[in-house]
Amino acid sequence: MAKTAKKRPAPKTAKRASTKRAAASRGLPPPPPRPDKRLKKIFVHSEGTFVLHNASEIKKLVIKTPAFDVGGWIDLSKMAPGGDNVEISVRASFANRTNVQYKNWGFSSPQLVSIGDLGNYFAGSHIEFWVKQTTSSNNFATPVEYAYQFVVESQ
């Protein structure tokens, strides 16, 4: 008896997946991307310069936004060494408490102050940095320009 060869079926050709192309909208901009609420945003909250004119004047640098961590700088590099003294106070508002003082720092030499140098970590929804020049080398005759920048990480 002779063996009969089995016929193999012809191989199937692969079909291309059908793709539908959306018609390009004419004249309409694409919709803006939807932000992911779980991601934090890092941005410059505020920055600027100011001059203090006498020993009783206080510049209040206020950061108020939903829950945040803050970093940044306060530039005291223009103050006169050995005569100008600046005091920085950090205050927080929370749980029906307003402007609760955390700590004071005194500076008597020109320098760039990192917010991290004032405390390990500042977070909340309302923090204020109060800057006061307590003494002047020439009784405030020469204005001293101070600068600041606050960078916030928030949701």
| Domain residue ranges of the chain, discontinuous segments joined by + | 55-154
In CATH, which of 2.60.120, 3.30.300, 1.10.3470, 3.30.70 is domain 55-154?
A: 2.60.120
If pLDDT is split at 50, 70 and 90, which confidence band does 132 have?
A: very high
SS percent in the chain: helix, strand, coil, step 5? 5, 50, 50
- Strand blocks (E) in 52-96: 58-75, 85-94
Read off the pLDDT of each residue in 126-139 and give the average, rounded to a whole number: 95
φ/ψ of 119, rounded to 5, equals -175, 155
For residue 130, what pLDDT is reported? 97
If pLDDT is split at 50, 70 and 90, which confidence band does 14 have?
A: low
For residue 57, what pLDDT is reported? 97
For residue 105, what pLDDT is reported? 96
pLDDT in tens, 60-92: 999 998 888 899 999 999 999 888 999 999 999
Please check the confidence at residue 4 and state whether its pLDDT lies above 90. Answer: no
For residue 102, what pLDDT is reported? 93
Cα angle for residues 121, 112, 100 (degrees, 5° grid): 40
Q: What is the mean pLDDT of the chain?
A: 85
pLDDT in tens, 16-54: 655 555 555 577 888 887 777 777 788 788 999 999 999
Percent of the chain with pLDDT over 90: 55
If pLDDT is split at 50, 70 and 90, which confidence band does 108 have?
A: very high
Both structure tokens of 14: 């692969």
> 89 Cβ partners below 8 Å, 6+ apart?
101, 102, 103, 104, 105, 129, 130, 132
If pLDDT is split at 50, 70 and 90, which confidence band does 119 have?
A: confident
